[in-house]
Amino acid sequence: MKELINKKSNSLTIIAGCGRLGASFANTLSDQEENVLVIDRDKDSFRKLSPSFGGLTLAGDATDIDVLHEAQIEKATVVIAVTDNDNTNIMIAQMAKELFKKERVIARLNDPDKECVYYNSGIDTICPVVLSIKEISKLIKTKNVREE
């Protein structure tokens, strides 16, 4: 694999999962001239990336230590797990944190009950259900204030 740190930024973000969220975030980072590598089991998922995507892709299982080594995880400053499976995201995040001693690790969890388990683990979690509830509550409160 070619050298990853080659843009203005000295940081590398590894994103595991190239679904809508992973691809959108990878495109955003690439547009900002950040170094980004996307891992996905299905190489067809990389079609979601923008034609202007300037990062790297790696077809493989991000729960496989050999794949993480191939992705040069030791150079990563941030590891983000956004596959469509909570258990896979948790496993990737734990591997990045514990085995590779990564400081910045983020995992998307769809089940809010799993989010609290990782609250004190050093793994940041994003839960779309919880975020949606907060935003909907804000919208309701804002509308109620406008009506008064």
Tell me if 7 is assigned to some domain.
no
Tell me if 16 is assigned to some domain.
yes
Distance CA 106, CA 81 (A): 6
Tell me if 5 is assigned to some domain.
no
pTM confidence score: 0.86
Tell me if 56 is assigned to some domain.
yes
Secondary structure letter of residue 73 according to DSSP: G
Q: What is the pLDDT of residues 21-67, one digit of tens each?
A: 999 999 999 999 999 999 999 999 999 999 999 999 999 999 999 99
CA angle 99/91/133 to nearest 5° reads: 130
Tell me if 58 is assigned to some domain.
yes
| Look-up of token digits 């694999």 | 1
Number of domains in the chain: 1
Give residue 92's domain range.
12-147
